[in-house]
């Protein structure tokens, strides 16, 4: 059955999810209860990280990560321009300066060769950190990024919002899951409804560093601690102290309950995404005028997005919309947003990402997309291309 309009992404809420939320609503805790810790533990296990900190959205999570890594005014951080605005904004919240590095023309990830050239060209100490993205779900080879980061004394925040469950294969042949904390200092995930796991609003920060974990927890709740070992004074059982200027970036317990329930289906959801990819690839490979996504054999792509490139992207976008297929563009390059242009970035600065933007289109990709719906999408795309 085909139900239109067909969006590019969509959450999947089951009866089991609804019951999980209801039972938490009937419990003693709406926030800061046992579901948060359970969600953190299970999520950390899912991605293979030591610690996980649940937050109210990934934008807050990115801000926490940048804060915990001491980003402040004058610090220059290298960010990919092919991402959602939040990836760079978190640096600006802390007063840091965003310097963009162009993408690879096939993977659309931050181009490590361009990154290396930028680092070599600048005096040592110019940059403090790098913030690449597992864009569309394609896992970054973070072993290579780490080697470079270590050489130049940089930290890494991995924006893994598109990639829970994805992994790359390292030089020893081991599978390194996105956000497992093995190479990046912190990684950030989103539970916005279009992402793999939905909690309404929600996010998670993962790390393998106890020191960063403690800071993330502290900044999540106003910089307040009740830990007796840390208190400067001891007034009694009621007493707490505020040690840093923190925030309220907490997730609620009923959202965590939804997240736990969704996490239970995350692997099956990924498998389903791969079936959808297989059908798209079979339909599009070999068709003149369509460039399907690049897939490295030794990486497991999480396919948040299935992106094709075509000559006449705007024409195809309009044609699909006329046929009630709401394909989407990810994204207009961040350095060309008026806000970032006003900070000195210009059209022409990053030719690869600017060229990519002219041709990219994200086709519908979500686990509840039916075979018939996908067939309809494929037919409409090919119909337009062959016109």
Hey, which residues are catalytic here? 195
The answer to the question of residue 162 lying near ligand PLP (CB under 6 A) is yes
Stretch that binds ligand PLP, among 100-108, 155-163, 204-212, 277-285 (CB under 6 A): 155-163
The residues, ordered by sequence, that sit 6+ positions from 76 with a Cβ below 8 Å of its Cβ are: 96, 97, 99, 126, 127, 128
Q: How far apart are CA 149 and CA 168, in angstroms?
A: 18
Q: Which listed residue (159, 185, 253, 373) binds ligand PLP by CB under 6 A?
A: 159
273 three-class SS = helix
Residue 20 in contact with ligand PLP, rule: CB under 6 A:
no
d(CA 21, CA 311): 46
> Which of 284/303 has CB closer to ligand PLP?
303
Q: Kindly identify the residues of this chain, within the stretch 323-382, that bind ligand PLP according to CB under 6 A.
A: none
For the four alpha carbons of 149, 154, 157 and 162, in that order, the dihedral sign comes to negative
In the bound complex, what is the minimum distance in angstroms from residue 13's beta carbon to ligand PLP?
17
Torsion over CA: 320, 322, 326, 330 (sign): positive
Binding mask 32-61 for ligand PLP (x = CB under 6 A): -------------------------xxx--
Q: How many residues bind ligand PLP (CB under 6 A)?
A: 14
Q: Which helix (H) or strand (E) holds 177?
A: strand 175-177
Q: Is 198 in the site for ligand PLP (CB under 6 A)?
A: no
| Closest CB to ligand PLP among residues 85, 231 | 85
Residues 75-114 that bind ligand PLP (CB under 6 A): 83-84, 86-87
Is residue 304 within 8 A of residue 196, CB to CB? The reply is yes
- The answer to whether 304 and 159 have CB atoms below 8 angstroms apart is no
Least distance between ligand PLP and beta carbon 9 (Å): 10
- Please say whether the beta carbons of 12 and 366 come within 8 A: yes
The reply on whether position 185 binds ligand PLP by CB under 6 A is no
Q: How far apart are CA 363 and CA 376, in angstroms?
A: 12
Task: Decide if residue 203 touches ligand PLP (CB under 6 A).
Answer: yes
Residues found near ligand PLP in the complex (CB under 6 A): 57-59, 83-84, 86-87, 133, 159, 161-162, 190, 192, 203
């Amino acid at each position: 059955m085909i139900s239109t309009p067909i969006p590019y992404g969509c959450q999947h809420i089951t009866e089991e999810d609804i019951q999980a939320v209801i039972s938490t609503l009937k419990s003693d805790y709406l926030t800061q209860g046992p579901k948060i810790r359970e969600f953190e533990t299970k999520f950390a296990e899912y991605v293979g990280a030591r610690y996980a900190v649940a937050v109210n959205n990934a934008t807050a999570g990115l801000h926490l990560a940048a804060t915990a890594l001491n980003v402040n005014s004058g610090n220059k951080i290298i960010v990919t321009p092919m991402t959602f605005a939040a990836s760079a904004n978190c640096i600006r919240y802390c007063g840091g300066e965003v310097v963009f590095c162009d993408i690879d023309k096939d993977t659309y990830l931050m181009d490590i060769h361009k990154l290396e050239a930028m680092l070599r060209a600048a005096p040592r100490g110019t940059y403090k950190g790098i913030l690449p993205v597992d864009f569309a779900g394609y896992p970054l080879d973070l072993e290579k990024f780490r080697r470079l980061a270590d050489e130049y004394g940089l930290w890494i925040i991995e924006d893994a919002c598109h990639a829970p469950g994805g992994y790359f294969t390292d030089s020893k042949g081991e599978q390194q899951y996105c956000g497992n904390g093995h190479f990046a200092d912190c990684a950030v995930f989103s539970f916005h409804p279009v992402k793999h796991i939905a909690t309404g609003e929600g996010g998670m920060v993962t790390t393998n560093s106890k020191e960063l974990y403690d800071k993330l927890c502290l900044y999540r709740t106003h910089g307040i601690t009740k830990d007796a070992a840390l208190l400067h004074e001891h007034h009694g059982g009621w007493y707490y102290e505020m040690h840093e200027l923190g925030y309220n970036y907490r997730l609620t317990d009923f959202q965590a309950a939804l997240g736990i329930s969704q996490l239970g289906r995350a692997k099956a959801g990924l498998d389903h995404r791969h079936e959808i990819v297989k059908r798209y690839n079979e339909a599009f490979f070999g068709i003149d005028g369509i460039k399907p996504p690049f897939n490295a054999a030794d990486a497991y792509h999480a396919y948040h997005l299935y992106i094709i490139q075509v000559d006449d992207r705007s024409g195809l976008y309009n044609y699909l919309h006329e046929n009630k297929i709401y394909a989407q563009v990810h994204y207009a390059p961040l350095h060309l947003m008026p806000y970032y242009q006003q900070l000195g970035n210009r059209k022409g600065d990053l030719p690869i990402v600017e060229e990519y933007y002219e041709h990219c289109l994200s086709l519908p990709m979500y686990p509840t997309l039916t075979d018939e719906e996908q067939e309809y999408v494929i037919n409409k795309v090919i119909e337009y291309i062959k016109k």
